[in-house]
Amino acid sequence: MQKISKMDIVIFRIYDHYQNHKKPIRIIMLIVDLLLFLYYLLFFNPGMWTLPHEAIWNEMYAVVNPFTTGAYILGVVILLQYIMYDDWITKVLLSGFYGWLILISLIIIIGMTSVWELCIYIPHLIVAVLCGIVTRSKQKIRTRDTAVQDESVKES
């Protein structure tokens, strides 16, 4: 029997809550994904930086910087979706988008003057490690579900 840690218990609870309320949570996460994708699509679209809209976009991106705060929000969303979703296509697409964003961020600030400024990447490393832990814990969930099914078959 595998040892179950406190983090695994938290992941199990989030996963079970998601399984009980699948449809509304999927709709909410789809809306969040679309908003984040639209946010970054508009940021990288040069046509949106026309003169009448430039002040609005400058204000918006000054509040939520796409390469720090926006990337941290995206990391939290990806971590939640790693916990909730089982399909690999969603995970690969989200991880690819997140990795692309981090790579662009690194390229943009490549002319840094100090190593201290690299600390903005620590949350990204934490998200990557937590996604690995979630993947391992999801294997435990599958093992737990398989064991419960096997016990119910033996009892009947």
Full-prediction pTM beyond 0.75? no
Helix/strand/coil (H/E/C) assignment for every residue in the chain? CCCCCHHHHHHHHHHHHHHHCHHHHHHHHHHHHHHHHHHHHHHHCHHHHCHHHHHHHHHHHHHCCCCCHHHHHHHHHHHHHHHHCCCHHHHHHHHHHHHHHHHHHHHHCCCCCCHHHHHHHHHHHHHHHHHHHHHHHHHHHHHHHHHHHHHHHHHC
Give residue 113's domain range.
Answer: 12-151
- Convert the pLDDT of each residue in 53-78 to its tens digit: 677 777 777 787 777 788 888 888 88
Flag whether 107 is in a domain.
yes
Domain count, the chain: 1
Flag whether 45 is in a domain.
yes
- Convert the pLDDT of each residue in 98-154 to its tens digit: 888 888 877 777 766 677 777 778 888 888 898 888 888 888 777 776 776 666 666
Flag whether 6 is in a domain.
no
